[in-house]
């Protein structure tokens, strides 16, 4: 039962992260070194570019090369390509991989941005180690979705937690109904005493 409360805290705070960004980001920034995506856009002075000089195929080759270089430099292993996109609003290509440093089994958390015109590395995002707040956020996301790498037992724990929460909800409603019935009984009994 001791594990229930920490897990409830994780799910509660991760729900705030997903639904109340205006609360989550300022609080996380006040507690940890944290950078949001919009912080990066401002700090890197990124601007819209609807027509990049670099084509899709060239960007993919450059993304593979840059990621391989960063993997050697940062000491992680690339497992497979994960995805690529062009973000016109910021003028960058994003290139993501599944890597040995990923916290989640399925996520875009090991990725880089490359300039849409030059192919130069704009920024590298790793799931942990760069900014404490972002590392915490990646762990919260992984724990919330029970998407930890090689952690099937955690999925069973989350399943059991769901059953506990359902049981607590049913029990809470049942206790409330009993109290309502008792109040009505006391109120009805007092009314009869007054009539006599």
Q: What is the pLDDT of residues 16-69, one digit of tens each?
A: 999 998 999 999 999 999 888 778 778 888 889 999 999 999 999 999 999 999
pLDDT for position 191:
57
H or E element, residue 132? helix 132-144
User: What distance in Å separates the CA atoms of residue 8 and residue 61, rounded to the nearest whole number?
Assistant: 44
Residue 86 phi/psi, 5° resolution?
-110, 125
pLDDT of 81 over the 60 cut:
yes
Mean pLDDT of 78-87: 93
**83-133 residue pLDDT tens:** 999 999 999 999 999 999 988 877 778 999 999 999 999 999 999 888 899
Pairing of strands 92-99, 78-87: antiparallel
**According to the model, what pLDDT value does residue 195 have?**
52
Tell me, what's the pLDDT at 154? Answer: 86
pLDDT at 79 over 70: yes
Q: How many CB atoms lie within 10 A of CB 69?
A: 13
> In which residue are the tokens 């601007």 written?
47
Give the model's pLDDT for residue 105.
Answer: 77
Neighbours of 125 (CB within 10 A): 19
pLDDT of the residue at 108: 73
Nearest to 91 by CA among 39, 45, 158: 45
Q: Give residue 3's pLDDT.
A: 74
Domain boundaries, the chain: 4-150, 152-196
The pLDDT assigned to 70 comes to 96
> Residue 53 has which token pair?
């000089």
Q: What is the pLDDT of residue 1?
A: 61
**Cross-strand partners of 86:** 93
């Amino acid at each position: 039962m001791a594990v229930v409360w920490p897990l409830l805290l994780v799910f509660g705070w991760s729900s705030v992260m997903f639904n109340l960004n205006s609360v989550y980001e300022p609080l996380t920034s006040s507690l940890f070194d944290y950078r949001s995506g919009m912080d990066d856009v401002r700090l890197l002075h990124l601007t819209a570019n609807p027509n990049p000089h670099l084509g899709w195929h060239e960007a993919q080759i450059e993304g593979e090369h840059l990621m391989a270089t960063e993997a050697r430099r940062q000491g992680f292993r690339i497992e497979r390509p994960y995805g690529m996109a062009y973000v016109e609003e910021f003028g960058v290509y994003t290139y993501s991989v599944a890597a040995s440093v990923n916290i989640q089994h399925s996520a875009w958390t090991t990725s880089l941005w490359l300039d849409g015109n030059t192919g130069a590395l704009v920024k590298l995002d790793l799931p942990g180690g760069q900014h404490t707040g972002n590392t915490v956020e990646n762990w919260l996301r992984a724990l919330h979705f029970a998407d930890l790498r090689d952690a099937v037992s955690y999925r069973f724990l989350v399943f059991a937690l769901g059953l506990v929460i359902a049981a607590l909800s049913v029990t809470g409603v049942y206790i409330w109904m009993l109290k309502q019935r008792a109040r009505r009984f006391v109120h009805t009994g007092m009314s009869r005493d007054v009539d006599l």
